[in-house]
Structure 1
Amino acid sequence: MFEKKIFIQNGEENKRLDKFIALKLNISRNKVQQLIQNNKIYLFNKIVKDNNHITKVNDIYYINMPTQEHNCSITPNINIPITVLYEDQDIIIINKEPGITVHPGAGTKDDTLVNGLIAHYGSTLSYIGKASRPGIVHRLDKDTSGLMVIARNEHSYYFLSDLLLKKQIKKEYLAVVWGIPNPKCNIIKNHIDTKSNNKQMMTVTHSQNKGKLAITEYNTIQTFANIATLVKCRIYTGRTHQIRVHMSYIGNSIIGDQKYGKNDSKIAKYAQQSTIINTLKRQALHAHKLGFIHPTTNTYIEFNSDIPNDIQILLNELAQLAKNSITIR
């Protein structure tokens, strides 16, 4: 049994308890309701009986979470590449390769990052949260490369999930986009929702009542004539496909993005002629910086990942075009 303590701060009051805890601990609302039914949640020293219980400032809740056993339904796969940059008894920092789905789902069962983690770390991972996602606190798209933090125990999982909820994990990405963003630096703030005619895609919605708030800050690092730009993106929310949707929304889709690439005819013609772009086979997006407070030491730690080889080759081609004063007309 693992006890989790939650202190209600200003701004967290007047919330329905089952919804609040589900969001706070990154677990299902149904699981929270089961904990309440089984007398596992206390307000101070009194058992909480009602799913509709409302939070108040300075309330302290104690949640007795059962430690889950190793989920043998996940098949270990030693062939999944796991590049570890740092590890201790609480966390693992990995550099995910492109082309690898993070966890099992529809159409992906045995060849995900989780299958590789199980093969290398087995029962030392945290199994709190969804059974198919041991240790997973946050995700990267299949064809996005870069840094991820993996939780190795319950304390780390809850601690990191709480940081994520409070937007206290620093996540920065490098992206190569078509054209030159205008302005060169900006914060994109709007709501993102699933498309009505395609639930596998996300889109910006101008209705405050639909979707979820998404905030992306981008800064121009280097431009390549009028063809493309290397940008740094920092996300303050973690919506599905967030950076890809936002950069496409402002007219500067990420090179190689087959889902959200809105390119004009001139750019499309150039892309068809580029062997490097045609062989990239993924969006030029890389999670290059990850920073957060360590779950045990309570000190801030930060990790960096260099631009991967396939994106660097693309940048080299763009730099050569710019040097030769080649532009898209």
Structure 2
Amino acid sequence: MRDSDQKQGAPLETIEIAVEEAAAGARLDAFVAANSERCSRSRFKALIKEGQVAIGGRTIVEPNYRVNAGELVSITLPPPEDPTPEPEPIPLNVVYEDDDLIVIDKPPGLVVHPAAGNWTGTLVNALIAHCGDSLSGIGGVRRPGIVHRLDKDTSGLMVVAKTDAAHRGLSEQFADHGRTGSLERAYKALVWGCPAHMAGTVDAALDRSGGNRMKRAVVKFGGKHAVTHWRRLARYPKDPASEAISSLVECRLETGRTHQIRVHMAHIGHPLVGDRDYGAGFATRANRLPEPARSLAAAFPRQALHAGILGFRHPVSGEVLRFESPLPEDFAALVAAIEAALTSR
């Protein structure tokens, strides 16, 4: 085993372990735990599930993968754990709250949990201040009560557990993604162009992008199963005889992968307005809009994505709860400007 050279101040470290003949057939999590004292087997198992382990350049996310002789296993280690997040008096838009959980409407720009570059000013810091000790230890040191997340620049509804029982119950529902239970999640997205059909499904596996580990990409082999169901809500301009510049769609998730909606919509040729990561090549589409919509679309500072519907069964009472959130001010203003600018077309 050898640890790769690490530049001073670099946040990640990689361990590489060669599989010898005697170890062939072992479970991946057991193999790396037996050949490295850096982490426990449970921690290595978590790292595998998080996509931090690769073999021959291919990300492996199954801890029970059987290793083969001659393979080179690469494990990316995150930075050491930092101190427990501190409470911060950050305003929260509380939609619902009881002794077991809290539902908030997250504004764009708010990071969900502390991580490199965002150790303070996060939703977790705000929740600790709001809920106090009821969140302590639930979900891990950095993510108390968090059972799902939204990207920093995605707005909308989130539920957070306040007790261990609620955390377990909600986690089970989110793991099922509503296939057999009461979980319901729907997002509104403003995209460039207009899908040819009124509704459709994107079934395409996702993995880390080869060019940028912070991004995701559709892959033909390996990766994580990902399914997004979408339907068109509005077309701009409305006249079907005119060229479609933009459209509003609703997306429902059958799986919950990082950047899933953003990558899937870009994959079918309709990236989200404002998405610099997955829709940069479409930014000039804003030039086709009349003013003032042109300037608003060109300067929109985030992906136009909002988690507008959240439903689930209360993990303690069993009651089915459902919440709806209107488009936030910036998103609604952009949609209104585009619709008004293209009404006469």
Q: Give the alignment's TM-score, normalised by structure 2.
A: 0.71
Instruction: State the match for 1:214 in structure 2.
Output: 226
Query: Are 2:177 and 2:253, in contact at CA under 8 Å, matched by a contact in 1?
Result: no
Paired residue type of 2:42: N
Which residue, 168, 176, 184 being the options, matches 1:170?
184
Paired residue type of 2:189: A
Task: Tell me the secondary structure at the aligned position of residue 292 of structure 1.
Answer: strand
Q: How much has 1:183 moved relative to structure 2?
A: 2.2
> Is the alpha carbon distance of 1:214 and 1:198 closer, same or farther for their aligned partners in structure 2, counting shifts above 3 Å?
same
Instruction: State the match for 1:244 in structure 2.
Output: 262
Q: What are the ranges of 5 or more consecutive residues in structure 2 without an aligned counterpart? A: 1-26, 31-39, 46-62, 65-81, 238-243
Task: Report matched runs for 1:10-25 at 5 Å.
Answer: none
Q: How much has 1:30 moved relative to structure 2?
A: 1.3
Task: Report matched runs for 1:202-281 at 5 Å.
Answer: 202-207=216-221, 210-225=222-237, 226-264=244-282, 267=285, 269-270=287-288, 274-281=294-301
Paired residue type of 1:84: V
> Is the alpha carbon distance of 1:272 and 1:158 closer, same or farther for their aligned partners in structure 2, counting shifts above 3 Å?
farther
2:323 corresponds to 1:309: no
> Is the alpha carbon distance of 1:304 and 1:284 closer, same or farther for their aligned partners in structure 2, counting shifts above 3 Å?
same
Task: Tell me the secondary structure at the aligned position of residue 317 of structure 2.
Answer: coil
Task: Tell me the secondary structure at the aligned position of residue 214 of structure 2.
Answer: strand
Paired residue type of 1:245: V
Q: What are the ranges of 5 or more consecutive residues in structure 1 without an aligned counterpart? A: 1-15, 20-27, 34-50, 53-70
Which residue, 87, 96, 105 being the options, matches 1:76?
87
Structure 2 Cα separation of the partners of residues 29 and 281 of structure 1: 41
Instruction: State the match for 2:103 in structure 1.
Output: 93
Structure 2 Cα separation of the partners of residues 110 and 262 of structure 1: 29
Which residue, 281, 295, 298 being the options, matches 2:318?
298
Which residue, 301, 308, 320 being the options, matches 2:340?
320
> Is the alpha carbon distance of 1:95 and 1:266 closer, same or farther for their aligned partners in structure 2, counting shifts above 3 Å?
closer
Q: How much has 1:254 moved relative to structure 2?
A: 0.5
> Is the alpha carbon distance of 1:272 and 1:137 closer, same or farther for their aligned partners in structure 2, counting shifts above 3 Å?
farther
Task: Determine what percentage of the aligned residue pairs are the same residue.
Answer: 41
Q: How much has 1:184 moved relative to structure 2?
A: 2.5
Q: How much has 1:126 moved relative to structure 2?
A: 5.3
Task: Tell me the secondary structure at the aligned position of residue 81 of structure 1.
Answer: coil
> Could you tell which deviates more after superposition, 243-252 or 114-123?
114-123
1:136-161 per-position Cα deviation (integer Å, ceiling 9, x unaligned): 00000000000000000000001111
Structure 2 Cα separation of the partners of residues 29 and 186 of structure 1: 41
Which residue, 199, 202, 212 being the options, matches 2:213?
199
2:169 corresponds to 1:159: yes
Query: Are 2:274 and 2:300, in contact at CA under 8 Å, matched by a contact in 1?
Result: yes
> Is the alpha carbon distance of 1:231 and 1:265 closer, same or farther for their aligned partners in structure 2, counting shifts above 3 Å?
closer
Query: Are 2:289 and 2:341, in contact at CA under 8 Å, matched by a contact in 1?
Result: no
Paired residue type of 1:145: S
Structure 2 Cα separation of the partners of residues 308 and 265 of structure 1: 22
Structure 2 Cα separation of the partners of residues 265 and 104 of structure 1: 31
Instruction: State the match for 2:150 in structure 1.
Output: 140
> Could you tell which deviates more after superposition, 238-247 or 273-282?
273-282
2:304 corresponds to 1:284: yes
Structure 2 Cα separation of the partners of residues 239 and 102 of structure 1: 16
Task: Report matched runs for 1:39-78 at 5 Å.
Answer: 73-78=84-89
Task: Tell me the secondary structure at the aligned position of residue 161 of structure 1.
Answer: helix
Q: Give the alignment's TM-score, normalised by structure 1.
A: 0.75
Structure 2 Cα separation of the partners of residues 29 and 187 of structure 1: 37
Structure 2 Cα separation of the partners of residues 306 and 312 of structure 1: 9
Task: Tell me the secondary structure at the aligned position of residue 296 of structure 2.
Answer: helix
> Is the alpha carbon distance of 1:130 and 1:270 closer, same or farther for their aligned partners in structure 2, counting shifts above 3 Å?
farther
Structure 2 Cα separation of the partners of residues 206 and 167 of structure 1: 23
> Is the alpha carbon distance of 1:275 and 1:29 closer, same or farther for their aligned partners in structure 2, counting shifts above 3 Å?
farther
Query: Are 1:223 and 1:229, in contact at CA under 8 Å, matched by a contact in 2?
Result: yes
Structure 2 Cα separation of the partners of residues 128 and 309 of structure 1: 33
Q: How much has 1:76 moved relative to structure 2?
A: 1.5
Structure 1 Cα separation of the partners of residues 236 and 144 of structure 2: 42
Q: How much has 1:279 moved relative to structure 2?
A: 3.5
Paired residue type of 1:141: D
Paired residue type of 1:187: T
> Is the alpha carbon distance of 1:158 and 1:322 closer, same or farther for their aligned partners in structure 2, counting shifts above 3 Å?
same
CA RMSD of aligned residues (A): 2.4
